[in-house]
Amino acid sequence: MYLLCGTMPRLPKGKKLLQAYVDEELLKEFKELAFCKHRRLRGALSWEVEEALKNWLALHDITKIEKINPDSKVLRVYKQVKDYIRRKYYYGTLMPNAQVPRKFIVEAIMALRGTTEVTVKRWFENFLRFKLIKHLGGELFELT
């Protein structure tokens, strides 16, 4: 009825209009199920779409996914790098969340794992990926 006069119904407070293209058969099946469940279509489709979206979001909730833990090799090498930096530059007292220049980390990787550019890059990227080091800006990094 509102389509004939060219105006849209008033949106309920806190709601937004959702338009999507879906397969004809899927929509037909969805409408039939909503009608059988509620004995009317008005309001039922919106409610069922909201429920479907809530269920989908609950299934795919990325906030429930834990941080990926580094494998033991990456963690072991990181601890060696951190220990190298502590012994060489901080005289045995490296504070938690210490801020160090990139060159200290690179030097430690080269001393412990090899001097090739590929090796240094791989270990550096692994440390960043597993959030063992955090880029603070410029050439400064935080050791976790």
Q: How does pLDDT run across 8-44, given as a tens digit for each residue?
A: 567 778 888 888 898 999 889 988 888 888 888 788 8
Q: Which of 37, 66, 39 is nearest to 52 (CA)?
A: 37
Please tell me the predicted confidence (pLDDT) of residue 24.
93
Look at residues 12, 39, 64 and tell me which one is the last residue of a structural domain.
64
One domain for residues 41 and 100: no
Residue 80 domain-assigned (yes or no) = yes
**DSSP secondary-structure letter at 17?**
-
Residue 3 domain-assigned (yes or no) = no
Residue 13 domain-assigned (yes or no) = no
Write the CB contacts of 17 (distance below 8 Å, at least 6 apart in sequence): 8, 11
Q: How far is it, in rounded angstroms, from Cα 141 to Cα 51?
A: 45
Look at residues 8, 33, 64 and tell me which one is the last residue of a structural domain.
64
Residue 5 domain-assigned (yes or no) = no
Residue 11 domain-assigned (yes or no) = no
One domain for residues 105 and 130: yes
Residue 6 domain-assigned (yes or no) = no
Q: How does pLDDT run across 88-111, given as a tens digit for each residue?
A: 887 667 777 889 999 999 999 999
Provide the pLDDT confidence category of residue 69 given band limits of 50, 70 and 90.
Answer: low
Residue 112 domain-assigned (yes or no) = yes
Q: Which structural domain range is residue 129 located in?
A: 72-143
Q: How far is it, in rounded angstroms, from Cα 143 to Cα 98?
A: 5
Q: How many domains does the chain have?
A: 2
